[in-house]
Amino acid sequence: MKERCVTYDTASDQETIHLGQELGKVLKEGDVVALAGDLGSGKTWFTKGLALGLGVSPDTIITSPSFALINEYEGRHTLFHLDVYRLDSLAEFLSAGLEEYFYRDGVVVMEWADRWPEILPEWKLKVRFDIIEYLVRKIVFSGEHPRTVEILKDLTRVTRDADNQTKRTSDI
């Protein structure tokens, strides 16, 4: 299947959180979201929104698990938030048993997923964050698996009428 892509611009942390929340609303148990982007590009803000969309309490503080490697949050589905920034190799990733989370009951969000894309399951949704200017982000969602295409269609549907995100391009 051909890779599909949807691109959004956000102009504030709140817009990035909102876009993550909309994605969280359409995710199902077993989904894997692979985040990539520079430091400070909005990956953790986005994950906060995604957690809200999964029904995690708004009082829960979502932090990047840079040192812990994984944080778990309870919502409609369990959110497994991985951050592999501090790992030096794929061997360390495997030694820590992190790949097992891809097959657990819940939703996985992995920051720095572009470091070892070969470990990701084929049904992952790739999300790329590009810093355009201060607070402005281009966020590109892509994938080619049938489940990923379904997620992209659902995300496009729920964000179609949103005032604070501008869908720039879509090939779905």
Q: Does residue 170 register a pLDDT over 80? A: no
* C-alpha distance from residue 29 to each of 14, 32, 85, 97, 160 (Å): 26, 9, 25, 20, 24
Digit-coded pLDDT (tens) for 67-99: 678 899 999 999 999 988 888 888 988 888 888
Digit-coded pLDDT (tens) for 42-64: 999 999 999 999 999 999 999 88
Percent of the chain with pLDDT over 90: 71
Q: Going by CATH, does the domain composed of 4-170 fall within 3.40.50.740?
A: no
In angstroms, rounded to a whole number, what is the distance separating the alpha carbons of residues 46 and 15?
9
Q: What is the pTM of this model?
A: 0.91
Asked whether 130 and 140 are in contact (CB, 8 A), the reply is: yes
- Residue 155 CB partners (closer than 8 Å, separation 6+): 6, 22, 23, 26, 141
